Amino acid sequence: MQAGMTPNADATRVALVLDAGGARSAYQVGALEVLLPALAERGMRPRLLVGTSAGALLTGALSATAHLEPEDQVARLKSLLGQTTKANVMRPLWRQVPEVLVRYTSETFGVSYFRLRGLFGSQPLARTLATSIDWEALHRNVENGVIEAAAVTATSVRTGRVIVFTESGSPVPRSAPEYHGRFVAVRLDVPHLMASAAIPVLFPSVHVGEPAEAEGWYVDGATRRRAPLAPALELGADRVVVVGTGGLRPPADPELDRVAVDLGDAGATLLGTVMDDPLRHDLRRLAELNALTGDAELAPVLKRHREARGRSAYQTIPYVAVAPEDGEELARTAMQVFRANHGSLLRTLGDPDLQVMHRLLGSDSPLQGELLSYLLFDPDFFAAASAFGHRDALRWVEQHPDMWRTDRLPDPGN
């Protein structure tokens, strides 16, 4: 802990929930550039940090810098973002092809030792996380009470269980079967973050060895989690700040349904289903629960129902929710950056991976930009996405001077 720093004395337990998004996490960095100072100005700082997939990487970085001023935290986040270029995230596809072919062939002939676990090698990301996050500072911040808990969500490959790897100064909550989730106390390290961010098929599943009770193979935490806000609430959050990367509304143009589809469309739809939809629905559920807890007749009934199950009563949870209103804005931007930076023959010869994927998955697909936006680890895309997040967070703060709301979000566009 730095000189003069004391454990977070604010009695309000603010949770910061950072959802999945791949390369779209740049949007979250831009939003946090506004939200972290705005919270500090109001005497509050996040004490519970919960992340999934790319949000888990940011959670690790924020937990390691929680003892710093918000502006310094943001600077460290931007530094991490600047390091997560393609070369520092995944192995070049041309280097991966021989290994993929060997592993695929071995499985075809029943040689189980050489299993194919993903198309892109993620060893560069592991090295980036090991060197760019101050892990000892993260552990000190938890031990000294600067933050109460740092948690990242991963999905067990074999059983489909949602595991919330949690480093906390207090005992972790017991399992929450209604959320298909289980908290596991850990000393967070690179494998836990890698497991949370391992998008199935694209990136290899990750073996987690510690703690022994949760040893096994894991993939992206967004794969099976049903309620992205649940871990923060189970950890005891009084208020929740959530930053997502998926649109607050799905595309509504019926004409799109008449356009022929291909493999890329299926991939983009699958990613949207597991990464975008749960957060949108969970925000709606939270607002509905807030309305019920504010109902003088229904609140006692809910309280008795929860107590009968051995759980604490629901309470009204004020929240901040920043996510793109136009879910296609990031997709359009990804296509523009791709064409400008990766579309020429010279650029393709220098780095053919994205162009090859673009062609294999259907280059004329209407949803191609959606898929690319998760994988475009490009500084120009980062800059644009970050600007969108900054703009949307600033709009929230301007529309909510005290930061919080409890009711349902209005339908975008109204």
Which has the closest alpha carbon to 189: 215, 208, 216, 161? 208
The verdict on whether 53 is a catalytic residue reads yes
Dihedrals phi, psi of 321, to nearest 5 degrees: -135, 110
Dihedrals phi, psi of 217, to nearest 5 degrees: -105, 135
Strand pairing report for 239-243 and 181-185: unpaired
d(CA 358, CA 352): 10
Strand pairing report for 149-156 and 46-52: parallel
- Catalytic residue, chosen from 25, 53, 156, 205, is 53
Report residue 395 as tokens. 């709009």
- Catalytic residue, chosen from 25, 156, 189, 220, is 220
- Quick one: CA torsion of 44, 46, 47, 50, rounded to 10 degrees? 160
d(CA 245, CA 27): 7
Report residue 311 as tokens. 């759980």
DSSP letter assigned to residue 409: P
Dihedrals phi, psi of 167, to nearest 5 degrees: -100, 120
d(CA 249, CA 333): 18
Angle of the 70-83 helix axis to the 123-132 helix axis, nearest 10: 150
Q: Are 5 and 67 in contact (CB under 8 A)?
A: yes
* Residues present in the chain in total: 414
Task: Tokens 């929710």: give the residue.
Answer: 321
Which has the closest alpha carbon to 275: 15, 56, 31, 32? 56
Residues annotated catalytic, as ranges: 53, 220
